[in-house]
Amino acid sequence: MNVLLRKALFIIAGSAVIFAAGCKKKPVRPDPQSTLIGQTPGGNDTHSSGLNTTPFGDLTPSPLPAGLVSDTGSGLQLGTTDASHGNQIRDAVQSVYFAFDQSAVRQEERAKIQDAQNYLNAHPDQRVLLEGRCDWRGTAEYNLGLGDRRANSVRQYLQDLGIAANRIEILSKGDLEAVENADAATAAKDRRVDFVFIK
């Protein structure tokens, strides 16, 4: 009987270890404000809004596109989100919102994309960056993919309305700036594509 009791305790303890090891917790994301690229003490925060790409064969340095970079003396400041700086314009068009775990543009959101088309037609010197975003649920990898699909859906709709592909850029932010453990109403606000117009 003593042997049976030991075996039972051993099996229970082993099962508990296996069960505990099988439950993986979602990793805690760092605060985006504390991990900014190029942030210096007393300097300016920097936010990347795109990449400078150079053809592989051309190795001569070229200046970055106007409006994306300014040298402030305390480091580079990549694209500002403040409309008063003139580089990027936010809030000219309302964000497009999506249903949970969906990337299809809903009927009631299409007017916002038409507003973006009207804005781009009125400002032919500007282009648009579409920032795809997600709520906090799901893995970081999945949410980056979902944010990309959402931004691509809006891009395709803009192209169908006649906006040239070279005037549209996309960026998936996934759940990087989502409110952690948000209630349903707050999480719904994180499931969106933002329009950032670049001069």
pLDDT in tens, the chain (199 residues): 677 777 777 777 767 666 655 655 555 555 444 444 444 344 444 444 444 443 444 444 444 444 433 333 333 333 334 343 457 888 889 999 999 999 999 999 999 999 999 999 999 999 999 999 999 999 999 999 999 999 999 999 999 999 999 999 999 999 999 999 999 999 999 999 999 999 8
Spatial CB neighbours of 163, under 8 Å, sequence gap ≥ 6: 117, 120, 121, 128
**Are residues 195 and 92 in contact, defined by beta-carbon separation less than 8 angstroms?**
yes
* pTM, entire model: 0.59
pLDDT of residue 106: 96
Domain ranges in the chain?
88-198
pLDDT of residue 44: 40
Q: In 44-133, which ranges are continuous DSSP H helix?
A: 110-122
Name which of 94, 90, 67 is nearest 196 in CA terms: 90
pLDDT of residue 12: 79
Residue whose token pair is 């090891």: 21
**Strand (E) positions, 7-159?**
69-71, 76-78, 88-89, 96-97, 127-133
pLDDT of residue 11: 79
Residues 24, 26, 28, 29: is their CA dihedral positive or negative? positive
Buried b (16+ CB within 10 A) or exposed e, 46-57: beebbeeeeeee
Architecture of domain 88-198: 2-Layer Sandwich (3.30)
**Are residues 75 and 38 in contact, defined by beta-carbon separation less than 8 angstroms?**
yes
